[in-house]
Amino acid sequence: MDFVKFMAEVEGFWGIEDYFVEAQGKTLGGDKSARLNLLMQDALSCQACSLYKTRNRLVFGEGSADADLMFIGEAPGADEDRQGRPFVGRAGQLLTRLIDKMGFDRADVYIANVLKCRPPGNRNPLPSEIFACRHFLLEQIDIIRPRVICTLGKFATELLLERKIGIKSARGRVFDFKGIKVVPTFHPAYLLRNPRDKILVWEDAKTILRILGKEINE
Ligand code: URA
């Protein structure tokens, strides 16, 4: 094991701020993929909450390190936990269709979650788990620096906006996170139960496309 990996494991084990790993990341400069990789090594050995004990695979996130658009969901479900990839189950298929309708490939955008490990039985993330895991997501955002972040559901929205705000009052509006536009919308799992609200999600997608100056194909 190389030294960086070893330090990532030590820092992950103690659940402490990853000073060493972050410093290594800074020396990597603009190499975003390498920095994401390093961060993933850190996440792989994280034991800051108990979810590492019950998960099968870490679901770190995937897509382009240079993405203009980033989607942030809640936490891996059973399919994601099995495959180690975000949004690959039924809700994921819906998200993939939306990405496609927006004129992107999944590989053009970046997809991540608030939690990197699956909560057992797909229960909601606990505040303590969100607190323990949030620095990974914040660092992913810091590395990628997308132009727009689309938060899917209340957990991602409330994490970035740093306040309690239901998704129903947040969606339809554009917020700011460190100079990045945040467009909240409904989580695809909610859409599976409430398909009539797909039209509102498409409205939010069009807002994103307008911000990015991209063509809208109805
Ligand atoms: N739901 C999420 O929030 N994230 C996933 O990756 C899959 C389902």
For residue 79, the ligand 1 atom closest to its alpha carbon is 7
| Ligand 1 pocket check for 95: Cβ under 6 Å | no
Between the CA of 85 and the centroid of ligand 1 the distance, in Å, is 9
| Ligand 1 pocket check for 87: Cβ under 6 Å | yes
Question: Residue 210's pLDDT is what?
Answer: 98
Q: Mind listing the pLDDT tens digit for each residue in 85-112?
A: 999 999 999 999 999 999 999 999 999 9
Between the CA of 41 and the centroid of ligand 1 the distance, in Å, is 21
Confidence of residue 28 (pLDDT cuts 50, 70, 90): confident
Q: Mind listing the pLDDT tens digit for each residue in 130-171?
A: 999 999 999 999 999 999 999 999 999 999 999 999 999 999
| Ligand 1 pocket check for 92: Cβ under 6 Å | yes
Between the CA of 8 and the centroid of ligand 1 the distance, in Å, is 25
| Phi-psi label, residue 95: left if phi above 0, alpha if psi -120 to 50, beta otherwise | alpha
Cβ atoms within 10 Å, residue 66:
12
| Ligand 1 pocket check for 94: Cβ under 6 Å | no
Confidence of residue 20 (pLDDT cuts 50, 70, 90): low
* Rounded Cα–Cα distance for residues 72 and 182 (Å): 10
**pTM of the predicted model as reported, rounded to 2 decimal places:** 0.90
Q: What are the DSSP calls for 167-214, one per residue?
A: HHHHTT--EEETTEEEEEE--HHHHHH-GGGHHHHHHHHHHHHHHHT-
Cβ atoms within 10 Å, residue 3:
9
* Rounded Cα–Cα distance for residues 72 and 157 (Å): 9
| Pocket-testing residue among 82, 90, 113, 122, ligand 1, by greatest number of atoms within 8 A of Cβ | 113
List of domains in the chain = 3-212 (3.40.470.10)
* Rounded Cα–Cα distance for residues 169 and 154 (Å): 10
For residue 86, the ligand 1 atom closest to its alpha carbon is 6
